[in-house]
Every structure is written in C-alpha cells, then in structure tokens.
Amino acid sequence: MASVNKIILVGNLGSKPELRHAGQTPVTTLNIATTEKWKSKDGEPCEETTWHYVDVWGAQAENACKYLDKGRQVYVEGSLRKEKYEKDGVEKESTKVRANTVQYLGGNPNAQSGASEKPPF
C-alpha cells in the first residue's frame, strides 16, 4: 500500500521571505499564516490562526525573495518534514513544509499604485 505526504496551503506571508544558501543551493523560508473562521454555539465569531514554516528550494527560492513580500497571499503545495534542532541546550523538533510549488495570489498589498510585476512562477 502506498502512502501520501502532501499539503496544500493558501495563506498570507507574515514576514518578508529570507534567502540563504545550503551549499550552492538557494533556500528561502516563508512564514505563512492560515486563519480559520467560524461561529460559536452562541453565534459569536471565532477565529484561529496557524503559522506554517515553508522552505522553498532552487530557482523558486530566488523568485520568492524577489517577488513576494509581507502580506502577500500565496498558494503552496509540498510535503511535511520533521526537523530536529537544539535551543538553549534542549533538543527540539518542529514540522516544516518543503514546497514543490509556490504561486502568488492576488496583488501585492505593498506595491506602489500601477506597479504589477508578475513573478515567473
């Protein structure tokens, strides 16, 4: 029996993407917020925001840094990865998304009026 590790996110960037290099390969980390909204049993509006940390590799990583900015809505397809790291002498674990596809949605909320440069992805 085969298994599937796939995630699709549509959310907003919480910060400007950061480009770094793993050896010769460019990597960009995106912080994406997704917000779920509903009404409580009493009819009161409720919402919960979840933050997702996404690594984008290769040419897509460079394009993400060039064209994406805080507040921009994005579509991401990828897979989940567990990462172990150490903080203050304590070993910790986090879950990240490794992006296969990144597409921007809507306009750039921080762009000047009339500017509409489209990314090549």
Task: Give pLDDT tens digits for 8-52.
Answer: 999 999 999 999 999 999 999 999 999 999 999 999 999 999 999
| Residue 121 predicted with pLDDT over 80 | no
Tokens coding 26: 């460019």
pLDDT tens digits for range 79-99: 999 989 899 999 999 999 999
Length, in residues, of the chain: 121
Tell me the sheet residues that pair with 82: 95
Q: Which CATH architecture has domain 7-105?
A: Beta Barrel (2.40)
Can you give the pTM of this predicted structure?
Answer: 0.79
Residue 29 sits at φ, ψ, to 5 deg, of -105, 130
Q: What is the predicted pLDDT for the residue at 106?
A: 74
> What pLDDT, on the 0 to 100 scale, is given for residue 108?
56
